[in-house]
């Protein structure tokens, strides 16, 4: 008779988030979880350079990490839904900034001076009835 095998016990790794921040832009919503690490940014289970393939979007995501030096001590796990890539990138930027603010409130002035805590509330204006678009009218016919 064989002896029962012992279950392997994994070493406990702290995956509990240190801070959480939510960023919104247009129709995009980003939930950011910061954990102790080495500055790795993962968006929807992919590296952010693979998810955001446009340089402008990558630059927006990296901005809080470049402005705040101690941010490189944290890994960011991000879940983003809705909107387009540019809106998602701006939502991620705001979410990371808000999560960093939870870690250290003293960073507020530095983040504010770089415009990272300012919410861009612009959204697409709705189309109105009797018009071709939000502001565009149908062509006027004189005769």
What does the pLDDT look like over 89-113, one tens digit per residue? 999 999 999 999 999 999 999 999 9
Answer yes or no: are the C-beta atoms of 28 and 88 closer than 8 Å: yes
Identify the architecture of domain 19-113 in CATH. 2-Layer Sandwich (3.30)
Q: Distance (Å, rounded) from C-alpha 12 to C-alpha 103?
A: 23
Residues 6+ apart with CB under 8 A from 137: 131
Residues 6+ apart with CB under 8 A from 105: none
Structure tokens at 106: 């003293």
pLDDT by position in tens, the chain (length 143): 566 666 665 545 556 778 999 999 999 999 999 999 998 999 999 999 999 999 999 999 999 999 999 999 999 999 999 999 999 999 999 999 999 999 999 999 999 999 999 999 999 999 999 999 999 999 999 98
Residue whose token pair is 């770089």: 114
């Amino acid at each position: 008779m064989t002896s029962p095998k012992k279950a392997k016990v994994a070493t406990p790794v702290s995956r509990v988030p240190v801070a959480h921040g939510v960023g919104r832009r247009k129709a995009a919503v980003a939930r950011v979880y910061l954990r102790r690490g080495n500055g790795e940014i993962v968006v929807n289970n992919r590296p952010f350079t693979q998810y955001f393939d446009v340089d402008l979007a990558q630059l927006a995501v990296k901005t809080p990490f470049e402005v705040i030096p101690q941010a490189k001590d944290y890994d960011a796990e991000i879940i983003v839904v809705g909107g387009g890539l540019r809106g998602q990138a701006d939502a991620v930027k705001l979410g990371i900034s808000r999560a960093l603010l939870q870690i250290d409130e003293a960073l507020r002035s530095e983040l504010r001076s770089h415009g990272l805590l300012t919410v861009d509330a612009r959204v697409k204006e709705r189309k109105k009835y009797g018009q071709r678009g939000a502001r565009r009218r149908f062509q006027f016919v004189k005769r």
